[in-house]
Amino acid sequence: MGEPVLGRRLMALLDLFARHSDDAGKLTRLYLSPAHKSAIAELSGWMRAAGLAVAVDALGTLTGRYESAQPGAPTLLIGSHIDTVRDAGRYDGALGVLAGLVAVEELASRSERMPFAIEIVAFGDEEGVRFPTTLLSSRALAGRFDSACLDMRDAQGITLRQALVDFGCDPEQIGAIARRSDHLLGYVEVHIEQGPTLAEARKPVGVVTAIAGAKRLSVDVIGKAGHAGTVPMRLRRDALAAASEMILAIERIARAAANIVATVGNAAISPGAPNVIPGKVSFSVDLRAPNDADRDAALSGISQAMEEIARKRGVRLESQIVHETPAVACSPSMTECLTQAIRRQGFPAPMMVSGAGHDASAVASLCPVGMMFVRCAGGISHSPEESVTTEDADVCVRVLLDFLRGFPESKIRVR
């Protein structure tokens, strides 16, 4: 295998891109934050330098368009997200956007045009860390933006609507983001696996056949605050003790099921003083399964258990579903094209189901989606220890180029 020139370029861009963070000393890039703003400014410059036409939509999604040799040709989208979790790794999301950019840079350097246009898409909200929902930008692209989200507030009480205005976007233009499916060939997302399968199998890339569905709950447990020194234990309605029992019940129910994962990743205690019995606890529940029926069965068990605990402890339970993404199958033809490109590049193409959610889940309602996973060390992700090798970065760009050059003429028609 020759010098990993394309891999080196991709890793260099990823290292530069990782500087755009809202937290000193670690990588946190929240939706519509100053880091998001500076990230799309730098990415726009790289896109323009490669000859792409750049645009930012009303939700802050950045796109870079590389025209086809044929006017009016359909468009292939290549994208992922550029927001991150808190104290994140630098490859989750950004890898898929920048791998697409490096591939188009290579085409442009050879003045090579495809029989379709290519648009690199950098979605601003996939993680759903800042606002209590997720996939905002990709759902809007698919014409499924829920305007009720505009009134959602972040931890500082800022509404999505205000955050968009502060970012320089016009919420009134969100409806214009939706794409027409008849001009799209499909959407390809290159993403780190975020699991150990490829690392254990010693394979650089894999092909995703399906993406697990997810439901997110926002749970409030309302008890009664009181003096830590004077309220007898038998008279307490301790919101934190009740929430803790609920969280252990959630873990027990998920462990008992074969293919369920449940996570309580966020919790807030109020009033939050060491000498005050907690009056209210709010926590998130992230619930996933490869199929929606199993996930919903687990959700029903969890809801019953929480209600029983609330009754027993005399606290009030308020639980609402704040986000739902159905399990999604990737397009068999896009999957086949990716598989063939991987094999032409001389690598095995293991088929995989993604336990992590991705923008492809939202875009799948708009056009055929395909996903390629890239090995990450130990499967570690959502952590600064997340890492990818230059050689695997090189493989993913070369496979992407092969996929583009080998995209079957028969599929290149305006649907």
Give residue for tokens 């029903």: 300
Which C-beta is closer to ligand HGY: that of 212 or that of 349?
212
Interatomic CA distance for residues 90 and 79, integer angstroms = 16
Which C-beta is closer to ligand HGY: that of 79 or that of 278?
79
Interatomic CA distance for residues 349 and 242, integer angstroms = 47
Which partner in ligand HGY, Mn ion, none is near 193 (CB below 5 to 8 A by kind)?
none
Binding mask 76-115 for Mn ion (x = CB under 5 A): ----------------xx----------------------
Give residue for tokens 């009303």: 58
Beta bridge partners of 192: 374
Which partner in ligand HGY, Mn ion, none is near 301 (CB below 5 to 8 A by kind)?
none
Size of the site for Mn ion (CB under 5 A): 2
When asked if residue 356 is in the footprint of ligand HGY (CB under 6 A), the reply is: yes
Residues 89-128 that bind ligand HGY (CB under 6 A): 126-127
Interatomic CA distance for residues 76 and 87, integer angstroms = 32
Which partner in ligand HGY, Mn ion, none is near 114 (CB below 5 to 8 A by kind)?
none
When asked if residue 195 is in the footprint of ligand HGY (CB under 6 A), the reply is: no
- Find the shortest distance in angstroms from Cβ 308 to ligand HGY: 29
- Find the shortest distance in angstroms from Cβ 252 to ligand HGY: 22
Cα distances from 85 to residues 81, 142, 327, 385, in angstroms, run: 11, 23, 22, 13
- Bridge-based pairing of strands 53-56 and 316-325 is unpaired
Which partner in Mn ion, ligand HGY, none is near 357 (CB below 5 to 8 A by kind)?
ligand HGY
Q: Taking a C-beta distance cutoff of 8 angstroms, is the pair 83, 137 a contact?
A: no
Closest CA to 337 of 399, 414, 413: 399
When asked if residue 357 is in the footprint of ligand HGY (CB under 6 A), the reply is: yes
When asked if residue 301 is in the footprint of Mn ion (CB under 5 A), the reply is: no
Instruction: Return the H-helix or E-strand segment holding 282.
Output: strand 280-289
Interface residues with ligand HGY (CB under 6 A)?
Answer: 126-127, 356-357
